[in-house]
A and B are shown apart, each in its own frame.
Chain A
Amino acid sequence: MSKICIVFDRLRSEEKMLEKQAIELGHDTIMLDAKITQFNTDSQKNDYDFGDIVLERCISYFRGLHFTACLEFLDVPVINKFEVASNCGNKLIMSLCLKKNNIPTPKTYFSFSADAAKENLEKVGFPLVLKPVIGSWGRGVMPLKDKDTVEAMFELRELTDGPHDRIFYLQELVKRPPRDIRVITVGDQAIAAMYRKSSGGFKTNIALGAEPELCDITKEIEDVCAKASQAVGGGILGVDLMEDEKNGLVVHEVNNTVEFKGLSKVAKKNIPKEMVEFALNSARR
Chain B
Amino acid sequence: MAPKTRLMVCTVVVVLTGGTALPVAASSWTRGYVVGTYQYAFRYGGRPDFTRGAEIEPGVDCPHGSTTNFANPDQTRIALARQKWRSKQEIDWIVAPPGLDQVRDPGFTRLLIWDRAISYRGYKPGIETYVNPWAADDPGQPEVTSRIAEGFNLDGKINPTDFVSPDGEKGIDNALYRAGGCYASWRARDLTNAFSAALHQRYLEGGLYTMVIRISGNQDPMNDSDATMEIGYSPDKIVKDARGGIAVDYSYRILKSAQYTKLKAKIKNGVVETEQVEHLHTPRIARYYHQTGDTNLTKGKIRLNIVPNGLSGTGLIGGYRNWRDLYVENSFPSPRGAGFADIQLHEDHIALYYALRRKADGMLNPKTGQYDGISTAYRITLSSAYVVDADKSVKIPLQSDFYPPELWRRKAFESLKANIIKGIEARIPQAVPPGILEAGYPQLEQKFPVGLPGKDFFLKTLDRPHYPDGVGRDDDGNPIDDQGERIDSRGDKLDEEGDPLKPPQARQQVSNGAPATATMAQEQ
Q: Do A and B come from one complex?
A: no
Q: B-contacting residues of A (Cβ < 8 Å)?
A: none
